[in-house]
Chain A
Amino acid sequence: MREALRATPGELADSDLMGRTANGDRDAFATLYRRHHAMVYRFARLMTGSTSAAEDIVQEVFLVVMRDAGRYDPTRAALPSYLYGVARHQTRRRLARDRQFVALDPGDAESTQHLAEDHLTEAIERREALQRLRRAILSLPRRYREVIVLCDLQDVSYSDASAAIGCAIGTIRSRLHRARHLLTQKMGRAAPSEEDHQPLTMRCEV
């Protein structure tokens, strides 16, 4: 898993931190959280399209870690795969509960700052394109959406994605191929023209 932070010499490995967490070591739990929260949050955010849902999912995932750290078996899966698996389960529960996708949040302050540095027109076009891409990803069936999020947006390897999802690597490949095809279709179909930005009301004289 490329994104996952690996333990450097002098740092405790994830499995050691999980063991210490199981024994009630608060610092070990805090270290685990700081090491892995971002990938869980981004995954949940991209899967649900909602920052508040993503925050809830991160909390649920790490509450599971807090409760079941002793049951984690490092020989079965690396911790990032385990966390993605838990996050995936929590995301499914959340989406099933909400029954529909929540509205897309507006761009965060960081991306706005990024836009301000670019040429304005290009920045707006880029931002709109990203918003369309987000919507297109959210409209994908969940099994396609999760492989796009994991492999294309989180840089997770096929083998780690297969461990997180619990399917064969070949299935990951075929779903990814299908997901990209669907995305390409959706993006081509949904490209807005200038007329689409015209207001629906018009001025008239009485």
Chain B
Amino acid sequence: MKPISWGDSDLADALDALRQVEARVETPPHVETALLAAWDGSHAPRSRERARSLWREVTAVAAAVTIAVGLAHLGRELRRTTLTSIEPVGDSRTLLVVGEPILQGEPVRVVRMRVPVSTLTGLGVRPATDSAATHVDVDVIVGEDGIARAIRVGM
């Protein structure tokens, strides 16, 4: 090595030359290809997930509509049902027998549902609830044949 005198202008010239060379340097095309592949990879599952989520929402709405229609039908059945007896079942709750009596050992299902107060009023029952309340929770006892047998309601 031999020492040479380097000044500011030499450095400026050298940097300028290097800048010109570097200005011609381009990113290899495979980098863009890899990035766009990464984009596709990261976004494709998201759209599949979105479709799956949409399908879940549609299914949930359909189930809710089915349940609502079923409950409305049950409510109409209850309105048509003739109250046969009113039996206290302890505490402040009362069992309204609305159909065939429940047989000993008959398997039943209990369905908790919210019914309009007016439905119970139509059966001659005034539930224990606020005067402003329009709905009240009751337990509907459904027989094996799917027909409501009784309603348990707080009095």
Contact = CB atoms under 8 A, between A and B. Distances in A.
Interface residues on B, range: 20 to 34
* A: interface residue count bin: 35 or more
B35 to A, nearest CB: 5
Contact of A30 (B5, B34, B36, B38): B36
Given A184-B8, A190-B1, A192-B1, A152 B19 contact: yes
Contacts of B38: 59, 63, 66
Interface stretch (A82-90, A91-99, A106-114): A106-114
Contact of A189 (B1, B22, B24, B46): B1
A58 B27 contact: yes
Nearest to B2: A193
A55 B20 CA distance: 20
B32 A42 contact: no
A133 B18 contact: yes
B133 interface: no
Nearest to A46: B22
Interface string B21-40: 11111111001101110111
A188 interface: yes
Secondary structure at the A interface, as helix, strand, loop or mixed, is helix
Interface stretch (A6-14, A33-41, A139-147, A165-173): A33-41
Nearest to B40: A26
Interface in B30-56: 31-32, 34-36, 38-40, 42-43, 46
B25 A45 contact: yes
Contacts of B28: 51, 55
B17 interface: yes
Given A133-B14, A187-B10, A66 B19 contact: no
Given A59-B35, A188-B5, A196-B1, A153 B27 contact: no
Given A153-B22, A184-B11, A187-B10, A26 B1 contact: no
B90 interface: no
Interface of B: 1-8, 10-11, 14-15, 17-19, 21-28, 31-32, 34-36, 38-40, 42-43, 46
Interface of A: 24, 26, 29-30, 33-34, 37-38, 40-42, 45-46, 51, 54-55, 58-59, 62-63, 66, 108, 110-111, 114, 126, 129-130, 133-134, 148, 152-155, 180, 183-185, 187-193, 196
14 contacts: A30-B36, A40-B27, A58-B27, A66-B38, A66-B42, A129-B14, A130-B18, A155-B19, A180-B11, A184-B8, A184-B10, A191-B4, A191-B6, A193-B1
